[in-house]
Amino acid sequence: MTRMLAALLLSLAATATCASEAANIRASAAWIRVLPGDLPAGGYVTLQNPSTQPATLVGASSPSYGMAMLHESSRAGGMNRMRMVEKLVIPAHGSQMLAPGGYHLMLMHAKTPVAPGATVRITLTFADGSALPVDFAARPAGALGPHD
């Protein structure tokens, strides 16, 4: 009987720590920078993880764009570079910023022109397969942040 109870408690504990990664993440200050023509837009967001489990961002998709990728910008030898990032960890009790000059979403092939002021839905996907839909505010090419 005691053994059964222990097994039951163990399974309950396992369930409690298996909340989906997406459910643990809080997204804020989500915006995209819209560039003219068919130039890709950068997507930026702050991801907070108040949970006790790390979450790993592995991709993104949007009904407004043909392709969305995770990128990192850097400067090396006076050159701006970008590279693809396969995954980005949001640590337990921590946060990760996607911001100009660093990690960002690269949104390509807008299906229809996205105007500044519009809202673009982007779904973030995590390593456990869970998904977090986030509304991003479209901002003009000169914007520095979600509000300026």
Considering the complex, what minimum distance in angstroms separates the CB of residue 82 from Cu ion?
4
Which residues contribute to the site for Cu ion (CB under 5 A)? 71, 82, 106
Considering the complex, what minimum distance in angstroms separates the CB of residue 1 from Cu ion?
59
Q: Closer to Cu ion by CB, 27 or 106: give it.
A: 106
Q: Closer to Cu ion by CB, 106 or 124: give it.
A: 106
Q: Closer to Cu ion by CB, 104 or 132: give it.
A: 104
Considering the complex, what minimum distance in angstroms separates the CB of residue 3 from Cu ion?
55
Query: For residues 122 and 44, is the Cβ–Cβ distance under 8 A?
Result: no
Considering the complex, what minimum distance in angstroms separates the CB of residue 106 from Cu ion?
4
Q: Give the CB-nearest residue to Cu ion.
A: 71
Contacts of 141 (CB under 8 A, 6+ apart): 33, 34, 35, 36
d(CA 11, CA 119): 42
**14 sits in which H/E element:** helix 2-16
Q: Any bridge partners for residue 108, and if so which? A: 67
Q: Closer to Cu ion by CB, 21 or 43: give it.
A: 43
d(CA 11, CA 148): 49
